[in-house]
Amino acid sequence: MPEKLNDTEILEIRSLLKILKKPSSGGIRINKTLRSLVVLVCLRHRIEISDLIGPCRKRRLVKARIDFSHIAFRQRSWNKTIIARTLNRNYSTVIHHLKKQPSEKADAIEQTYCA
């Protein structure tokens, strides 16, 4: 059973969403629903938004990107190109991510995101 978000995580999500509503959020322009998914993935993986969209290829960051790609593609049927632009990646990277298995955290994020 996936774990639920606690009160502090919910407050963090709300504050991050307020920050992301500003026009300049790290140089990327993305849809509101994708923004909320970015925040949820970052909170669940305990990383910064700049890490998710940055160039670093550390394993924990790649796992977060894989989870983001899976949820965005399965739940909202986002185009692979849009997902790639959100992550500052090439669309072929997203295709590669979708071939990988998502982590267990993806289920918890998915339930929170779809609720």
- Quick: pLDDT tens for 16-54: 666 555 554 444 455 667 888 888 899 889 999 999 999
d(CA 102, CA 68): 9
**Does domain 7-114 sit in CATH 3.90.226.10?**
no
d(CA 108, CA 49): 19
User: Considering the entire predicted model, what is its pTM?
Assistant: 0.71
Q: What is the pLDDT of residues 48-101, one digit of tens each?
A: 999 999 999 999 999 999 999 999 998 877 899 999 999 999 999 999 999 998
Estimate the crossing angle of helix 59-75 against helix 91-99, to 10 degrees: 90
* Domain spans, the chain: 7-114
